Chains A and B, each alone.
Chain A
């Protein structure tokens, strides 16, 4: 029995009139409430926008595409950003370390607190 046939049978039965007792009416009411609660709400806002864009790729059936694609994009972007950031920090260190290693002053001079203080004191005197 397909859905349309079943619906027709119900319609006929309803047209003949119903004599429901209170308990049956109550069960019917509860079933209706459940059915309404299950009905999917209309997509709103950003979801509606995403639905319009991706709907053509399979509507609600394309759930994986709607969810997985942006998530994958996010993960990839974060990965790329993190790598880029790390490379930049490493390049900065390579630059300053190169300068220190090639500088006129030996590294000891940059580690000597007394010398650093002495330079400051001299600069202040001038």
Chain B
């Protein structure tokens, strides 16, 4: 009996580890925007927690830019934002300012866009800093390129996929 229990537990663990993350589940097929607008909009009946009122005063203050959207966020995303709010006090002042500025735009992206941004972030983070160079400078350089050159870069990238 004990052995059976252990096997079942191991299987559950394996299944859990392989399962898709509940936060921003990435669609396998290319994203079809506006295919299902707000399919899982929580209703008043099934109150998703934590509600805005359940946040601490400090969390409410940090997450203030999200207040208007809070009721449309799924449980996992709310918990993720609470997690970010917990990290917030340890951030440098300029980082805190960036979080405040970017929060709303980040929450408004599609799940596919967020997934793409995270993937690109991880890819860049993999490159050793000495090879990476000054990314801000490179971003500025890239933006100063003529539009047709930038379009060419996008075209090449699309072809590669």
List the interface of chain A (C-beta within 8 A of B): 46-47, 49-50, 70, 73-74, 77-78, 81-82, 85-87, 89-107, 109-119, 121-123, 126
Q: How far is the CB of B134 from chain A (nearest CB, A)?
A: 9
Stretch of B34-42, B43-51, B52-60, B100-108 contacting A (4+ beta carbons < 8 Å): B100-108
| B135-A104 in contact (CB<8A) | yes
Is B87 on the interface with A (CB-CB < 8 A)? yes
A73 (CB) vs chain B CBs: closest residue: B5
Is B1 on the interface with A (CB-CB < 8 A)? yes
List the interface of chain B (C-beta within 8 A of A): 1-5, 8-9, 12-13, 16-17, 19, 21-24, 76, 79-84, 86-87, 91, 95, 98-99, 102-103, 105-106, 109, 113-114, 116-118, 120-124, 127, 131, 135-136, 138-139, 142, 145, 150-154, 156-158, 160
Decide: A113 near B79, CB < 8 A? Known: A105-B135, A107-B105.
no
Decide: A102 near B135, CB < 8 A? Known: A74-B8, A90-B76, A113-B154.
no
A104 to B80, CA, bound (A): 21
| B121-A103 in contact (CB<8A) | yes
- Chosen A-B contacts, 28 in total, with CB atoms closer than 8 Å, are A46-B1, A77-B9, A77-B12, A89-B21, A89-B22, A90-B22, A90-B83, A93-B21, A93-B83, A95-B83, A96-B121, A97-B84, A97-B106, A98-B83, A98-B87, A100-B106, A100-B118, A101-B84, A101-B103, A101-B106, A102-B98, A104-B136, A107-B105, A110-B120, A111-B117, A113-B158, A115-B153, A119-B124
A107 to B124, CA, bound (A): 13
Among A82, A89, A92, the most chain B Cβ lie within 10 Å of the Cβ of A89
Pairs A-B, 9 closest by C-beta atoms? A94-B83, A114-B153, A102-B95, A117-B157, A114-B154, A110-B117, A85-B16, A89-B21, A113-B157
